[in-house]
């Protein structure tokens, strides 16, 4: 499909149209120069080439488009025109200021945050976000930036106001939708908890050696391997006050006995391994079709992209970055996250 040229993109943006698509670098630069507030995603080289402006960005080469999943190089970035939604204030916070992601959000709007994978910010937010004073009062969405898996990190975020990149800060767009407007985040979880044993943990964290299985302590790595969960294809599903939240397996190390997770588990929460998915695309598409097409921003997990073999496959007609973790008030995994306006 032929992409519109820079002038057409600028005219669409200035007329108030929402742009949510992969675009050529010159088109993105034209939008920035025109004064629009943007959320961007792409490679580090692509993002570094863009002019300063009121934008935030994060690194990933993986994307979902309406045509299908794709991996891009340095010639394109994914653009969401936040100016079409309302007034936008960009911020950049360090590890000790993460409560301001939701705390500084407008009363009638939302926060869109990007943080680097494997950073202190990533870990702190994952553990502490549910306990921030404004955590579930002001809508917060976002994503964990990443990198091309074959090349390795680091993951970066960009503060477009000065073009700086960071490995351990969070960039945030606080979007004011206007008085009376309501932003509604949504999670599409293609998984549901299986009927197996109840798992629980005595401490919060990303790395565990022991697990309680129906109340009996067992080596966690041994349990994962023996039960067939060592490959990480299915996550743990926790009951968080009635919400099914995934915690995905990153690595099972039988030598050390450690199980590394993509998100922390918490004491007091009951977990079960999910039922396997036999048709990843259909499971995601079914959830997305149930009211998500009018979302003005979305992201999809890299684990869905990999295990679902989504490259070249369209899912639900939505577009957005493929990420190393998703944010819907708190860190979630192996999900599709979106936000829409009521």
Please write the tens of the pLDDT for every residue from 111-134: 999 999 999 999 999 999 999 988
Confidence of residue 1 (pLDDT cuts 50, 70, 90): very low
Confidence of residue 291 (pLDDT cuts 50, 70, 90): low
| Exposed/middle/buried for residue 255 (C-beta within 10 Å: 0-12, 13-18, 19+) | exposed
pLDDT tens-digit readout, 148-168:
999 998 999 999 999 999 999
* pLDDT value at residue 125: 96
Name the most confidently modeled range: 39-48, 189-198, 273-282: 39-48
Q: How far apart are alpha carbons 320 and 130 in whole angstroms?
A: 25
Name the most confidently modeled range: 89-93, 178-182, 251-255, 287-291: 89-93
* Mean pLDDT value of segment 74-97: 97
* Mean pLDDT value of segment 68-95: 97
pLDDT above 80: residue 289: no
Angstrom distances, CA of residue 98 to CA of 189, 247, 296, 309: 26, 21, 24, 34
- Specify the higher pLDDT residue, 80 or 14: 80
Q: What angle do the packed helices 6-14 and 25-33 form, to 10 degrees?
A: 40
* pLDDT value at residue 319: 93
* Mean pLDDT value of segment 293-305: 91
Q: How far apart are alpha carbons 42 and 63 in whole angstroms?
A: 9
Tell which residue, 299, 329, 262, has the closest CA to residue 128: 329
* Mean pLDDT value of segment 65-82: 96
Task: Give the strand pairing for 336-341 and 183-188.
Answer: antiparallel
* Mean pLDDT value of segment 134-143: 93
* Mean pLDDT value of segment 97-105: 96
pLDDT above 70: residue 9: no
pLDDT above 60: residue 5: no
* pLDDT value at residue 293: 62
pLDDT above 50: residue 176: yes
b/e 180-216 (16+ beta carbons within 10 angstroms → b): ebebebbbbbbbebeeebebbbeeeebebebbbbeee
pLDDT above 90: residue 342: no
pTM for the whole thing?
Answer: 0.93
Strand order of the sheet with strand 297-301? 68-71, 62-65, 320-323, 297-301, 336-341, 183-188
* Mean pLDDT value of segment 240-265: 93
Say if residue 172 is preceded by a cis peptide, omega within 30 of 0. no
* pLDDT value at residue 4: 52
């Amino acid at each position: 499909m032929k992409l519109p040229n820079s002038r057409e993109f600028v005219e669409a943006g200035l007329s108030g149209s929402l742009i949510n698509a992969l675009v050529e670098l010159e088109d993105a630069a034209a939008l920035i120069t025109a004064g629009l507030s943007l959320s961007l995603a792409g490679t580090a080289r692509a993002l570094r080439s863009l002019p300063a402006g009121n934008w935030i960005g994060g690194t990933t080469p993986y994307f979902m488009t309406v045509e299908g999943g794709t991996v891009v190089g340095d010639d394109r970035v994914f653009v969401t025109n936040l100016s079409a939604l309302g007034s936008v204030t960009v911020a950049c916070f360090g590890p000790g200021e993460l409560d301001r992601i939701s705390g500084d959000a407008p009363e009638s709007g939302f926060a869109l945050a990007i943080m680097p994978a494997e950073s202190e910010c990533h870990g702190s937010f994952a553990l502490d976000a549910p306990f921030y004073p404004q955590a579930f009062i002001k809508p917060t969405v976002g994503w964990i930036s990443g990198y091309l898996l074959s090349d390795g990190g680091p993951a970066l975020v960009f503060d477009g106001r000065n073009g700086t990149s960071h490995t351990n800060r969070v960039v945030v767009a606080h979007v004011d939708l206007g008085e009376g407007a309501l932003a509604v985040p949504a999670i599409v979880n293609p998984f549901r908890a299986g009927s197996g044993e109840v798992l629980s943990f005595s401490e919060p964290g990303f790395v565990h050696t022991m697990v309680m299985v129906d109340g009996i302590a067992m080596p966690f790595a041994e349990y994962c391997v023996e039960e067939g969960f060592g490959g990480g294809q299915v996550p743990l599903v926790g009951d968080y006050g009635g919400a099914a939240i995934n915690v995905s397996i990153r690595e099972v190390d039988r030598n050390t006995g450690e199980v590394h997770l993509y998100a922390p588990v918490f004491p007091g929460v009951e977990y079960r391994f999910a039922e396997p998915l036999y048709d990843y695309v259909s499971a995601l598409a079914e959830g997305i079709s149930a009211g998500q097409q009018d979302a003005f921003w979305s992201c999809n997990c890299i684990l869905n992209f990999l295990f679902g073999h989504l490259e070249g496959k369209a899912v639900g007609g939505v577009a957005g970055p493929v990420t190393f973790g998703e944010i819907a008030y708190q860190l979630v995994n192996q999900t599709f996250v979106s936000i829409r306006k009521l």
